[in-house]
A and B are shown apart, each in its own frame.
Chain A
Amino acid sequence: DAGVTQSPTHLIKTRGQQVTLRCSPKSGHDTVSWYQQALGQGPQFIFQYYEEEERQRGNFPDRFSGHQFPNYSSELNVNALLLGDSALYLCASSLERTGANYGYTFGSGTRLTVV
């Protein structure tokens, strides 16, 4: 049973470019959350998707957008990349009915470097 899978594992982009990161949730899960972890910091909540809609959003600008597909997989898009967007981007999946009450299982992340 595959866990949460993310692609790509590493990515290097130039300032001003756009990037798309992908996440496949654990089998049976219907909710996907995205987190950004800068070096030396804890993960910060970006947003959560359920039923193909953004359900809640953290303190991130509109340059960060996402999508959830009918098969529950998800994409995170970041436009107009800044150097400060360099981070580990983590995806977590869960069941809507349990919410965050049992914690989340994370994918291994995408390490984005903006130069």
Chain B
Amino acid sequence: RKEVEQDPGPFNVPEGATVAFNCTYSNSASQSFFWYRQDCRKEPKLLMSVYSSGNEDGRFTAQLNRASQYISLLIRDSKLSDSATYLCVVNMDDYKLSFGAGTTVTVRA
């Protein structure tokens, strides 16, 4: 079983729509959780950390369910600039980050 699994998509949504997707992780002892954004052929960039109580950053909302070992990301009022691959990332020990394969989101005009 992969350490982090994501629905690859793609999610094709119109501007202004809401889009949401999840990932699951295998290690119940995982310590911290993140969503990264990666544009085509660029490096991953930290979008937001994910906290147990859930958290928002502008139009982005992240949720963590430790009991079910899944993480979600919701994007409200989608913009063309939100088109990217979103990587679910889990810190399973003090040293390494484990990445999902990414969920592709395309926002169309």
Contact = CB atoms under 8 A, between A and B. Distances in A.
B43 A106 contact: yes
Given A100-B32, A109-B43, A42 B94 contact: no
B95 A42 contact: no
B41 to A, nearest CB: 8
A56 B95 contact: yes
B92 to A, nearest CB: 9
A44 B99 CA distance: 7
Contact of B44 (A55, A56, A106): A106
B31 A108 contact: no
Contacts of B36: 103
Contact of B46 (A42, A88, A103): A103
Given A42-B101, A56-B96, A108 B42 contact: yes
Nearest to B31: A101
Interface residues of A, number: 27
Best-buried of A41, A43, A56 by chain B (most CB within 10 Å): A43
A45 B91 contact: no
Nearest to B104: A40
Given A43-B44, A106-B44, A101 B91 contact: yes
B102 A42 contact: yes
Contacts of A35: 99
Contacts of B44: 43, 90, 106
A86 interface: no
A100 B43 contact: no
B46 A105 contact: yes
Interface string A71-102: 00000000000000000101010000001111
Interface of A: 33, 35, 40-45, 48, 55-56, 58, 88, 90, 92, 99-109, 111
Given A48-B95, A56-B93, 19 more contacts: A33-B96, A42-B99, A42-B101, A43-B87, A55-B95, A56-B95, A88-B43, A92-B97, A99-B95, A100-B97, A101-B32, A101-B91, A102-B49, A103-B46, A103-B89, A103-B97, A104-B46, A106-B43, A111-B41
